[in-house]
Structure 1
């Protein structure tokens, strides 16, 4: 059930008796912008740790304890051409709250405090809090360099999206941009976000729809203009392969490969794409795992993943540096085999069964259900019943998978060579 609270402010209620908790997510959406990503990342850190009436983490933690140990977070991420700042709260259901207390009402009041009363005085964030959170965020981002697998993934993304600053900048922004922000600049951006972002409020749990609507009816958002952005980022294929190599102090070298893929979330070939990825590198029975890792012993790990909102397929491998060319050649041979249908029928059927099991398991995960409902609000044609989804998956043929494989083309190669 979706209720329009204001222009571009919608309340989505997902009643279910599966869970003992109620999950509430307030999501701010805006067109992806590298500078805004940095501002929003810092703003999320500030909103997660304090507010005007909860000026420090001790006061905030005490309030969450009063809500019977509610789980609270503020995060940033992106999908395609959109950037999200999400404020989430997990609380116990009113049905199991003691003394007839309405946890939902108290939770809504808490969220109103966090959203509409940030720790801003005289037009700027509290300076001491701001400086601490800014420093902590920079340290967190710098620590990503220590996780070489994540660093390799980011480096490949930087190559693949070399023509788009917005796409190659991570969702948490850029350190140099974050360093330039001030208590006033982030307060100014907060006011802009509150007035302009598209707002979706999602509530999942054993709740009564009319009561939820009553709780959020006068939440506080005003009307806003419709977002002028296309969710899917469709980058044209380029004949030039982007390549980068660097030597870093790691024992295990990493070869990450990026492919251009002209198939997107829930278009006609989306289900074949999922099956292709499962067969290619998504599961332990995939060609990358069985051939690159097991048969030829050329990789410590080898897998693939898809980003169906940006037409981006990646292969991640951990290898000995001397095997770089052999691994790259062997990976591309596996892709070629997919185009000619060189995969057995039993593995095709096993892949479809495993994808169906994943789908069914996700329907039991409250967080996944909420995220799925949000996607449906943006991509209505993806809202399939369970039977329809399973039917589409089972209908995928060998020829469909081959057709998908032919649309996938090498676009970027990043190599991290281990060294002193």
Structure 2
């Protein structure tokens, strides 16, 4: 397959990742600011990208900033906070038409980088700190996002599993912060966290599209002229800490359907030699509609409205998720565990292995058809330290054998069972 090259370099401590390709008529830009997940300041960090997106020195409110983007041929700009493994990550994304398709004298890409830099480094201030009106507006918006998690019972169950499974560890924390912090944080305290973020965060800038690479490298060098904290990617620990006993957690709420989650420690992360084997194992286990969970829990036993599994490879977590009738709880857990044991003893065929590898490879190829997919692949390559060459990635998946899958699956240990049950009816 024709490869798409992603080159990485350092500019003033900022890590620059460029994918120069003619596949798209747009240029996509993503800036990430990464710091360790920690309780102190987490809610302030969650709100900072939205405050920054609310106004700059030259465009002091959201309306004027939007007008500026409209003038830039309908460019768009979004910001958010997320977590990946034990990192808290603030992201800014922009998409613009590629310069080569515009009849303009000045580079739109240069103007976009200038605006992105202004959003991050020159926010609208009031008495030397963030604008109070913007801060209070974004605090209300964050409260609404946190309420939305509670109202989405599947998402709520996901959050509760993480809280219980990683209690006392950084990964327990939500990327959105905590509602109880909203009363105590203010423009001054959030601005202090923002200044610390500029000093301590690792900056990665991803640009995908058609451009002159040397020109873009020079632009980034000039625009992001501050000296950034050149933090290396930390090694993710996959040391084995055996699970002493399975935690069983049950919450009761006014729900019409039970939400069942099983959380496994895989002891394999994106940096581990068993990473691809773990992905193939998960593909056979619960990732796709052809998987064991879907066929046995949903199709054969009719125990669940849906049943699937998901990997968080930056922390070594495997989750199974199912929506079930309340009375089916014990049987559903039993069937899910039977599929786990089947993986560990090799009760799956070579055909299942090849089918799962083909689907993973197809997903990888499809990802290269979108700018965001290319960025995600580049991020994974940065985190893993492995080649982002698509043919190398396909080869790594293709080489996984049945014994590799069995070895990876035998590392799995069930840590926590979480069930969101209904309230008992009062008679």
CA RMSD of aligned residues (A): 1.8
- 1:232 equivalent to 2:229? Answer no
Query: 1:121-270 to 2 correspondence within 5 Å?
Result: 121-164=126-169, 166-227=170-231, 230-234=234-238, 236-270=241-275
SS of residue paired to 1:50? coil
- Aligned position for 1:400: 404
Cα 1:224–1:117 change in 2 (3 A) is: closer
Q: CA deviation at 1:138?
A: 0.9
Using the TM superposition, name which of 398-407 and 351-360 deviates more: 398-407
- Aligned position for 2:94: 89
Q: Distance in 2 between matches of 1:275 and 1:219?
A: 42
Where do 5+ consecutive residues of structure 1 fail to align?
Answer: none
Q: Distance in 2 between matches of 1:219 and 1:81?
A: 30
Q: Is the 8 A contact 1:67 1:103 kept in 2?
A: yes
- Aligned position for 1:48: 53
- 1:285 equivalent to 2:303? Answer no
- Aligned position for 1:118: 123
Cα 1:416–1:201 change in 2 (3 A) is: same
Q: TM-score, normalised by structure 1?
A: 0.95
SS of residue paired to 1:414? strand
Cα 1:351–1:69 change in 2 (3 A) is: same
Q: TM-score, normalised by structure 2?
A: 0.93
Using the TM superposition, name which of 304-313 and 115-124 deviates more: 115-124
Q: CA deviation at 1:231?
A: 4.7
Query: 1:314-393 to 2 correspondence within 5 Å?
Result: 314-380=319-385, 382-393=386-397
Q: Distance in 2 between matches of 1:267 and 1:90?
A: 34
Cα 1:224–1:214 change in 2 (3 A) is: closer
Q: CA deviation at 1:117?
A: 1.1
> How big is each residue's C-alpha offset from its partner over 1:264-307, in whole Å with a ceiling of 9 and x where there is no partner?
11422111111110111111111110011110111111100111
Q: Is the 8 A contact 1:305 1:315 kept in 2?
A: yes
Q: Distance in 1 between matches of 2:191 and 2:330?
A: 51
Using the TM superposition, name which of 314-323 and 111-120 deviates more: 111-120
> How big is each residue's C-alpha offset from its partner over 1:85-141, in whole Å with a ceiling of 9 and x where there is no partner?
111111000011233442112112211221121121222211112111111111111
Q: Distance in 1 between matches of 2:93 and 2:123?
A: 16
Q: CA deviation at 1:349?
A: 1.4
- Aligned position for 1:71: 76
Q: Distance in 1 between matches of 2:233 and 2:209?
A: 31
> How big is each residue's C-alpha offset from its partner over 1:26-85, in whole Å with a ceiling of 9 and x where there is no partner?
221112212333111111111122222222221111011011111211111122222211
Q: CA deviation at 1:335?
A: 0.6
Q: Distance in 1 between matches of 2:376 and 2:299?
A: 35
Where do 5+ consecutive residues of structure 2 fail to align?
Answer: 1-6
SS of residue paired to 2:222? coil
- 1:310 equivalent to 2:315? Answer yes
Cα 1:285–1:229 change in 2 (3 A) is: closer
Q: CA deviation at 1:418?
A: 2.5
> How big is each residue's C-alpha offset from its partner over 1:148-189, in whole Å with a ceiling of 9 and x where there is no partner?
00001001111110131x211111111112332110011112
Q: Is the 8 A contact 1:123 1:188 kept in 2?
A: no
Using the TM superposition, name which of 344-353 and 202-211 deviates more: 344-353
Q: Distance in 2 between matches of 1:304 and 1:379?
A: 22
SS of residue paired to 1:272? helix
Q: CA deviation at 1:260?
A: 1.0
Q: Distance in 1 between matches of 2:342 and 2:47?
A: 46
Q: CA deviation at 1:221?
A: 4.3
SS of residue paired to 2:80? strand
- Aligned position for 2:29: 24
Cα 1:104–1:153 change in 2 (3 A) is: same
Q: Is the 8 A contact 2:37 2:173 kept in 1?
A: no
Using the TM superposition, name which of 23-32 and 303-312 deviates more: 23-32
SS of residue paired to 1:255? strand
Q: Is the 8 A contact 1:231 1:309 kept in 2?
A: no
Q: CA deviation at 1:197?
A: 1.5
Cα 1:285–1:87 change in 2 (3 A) is: same
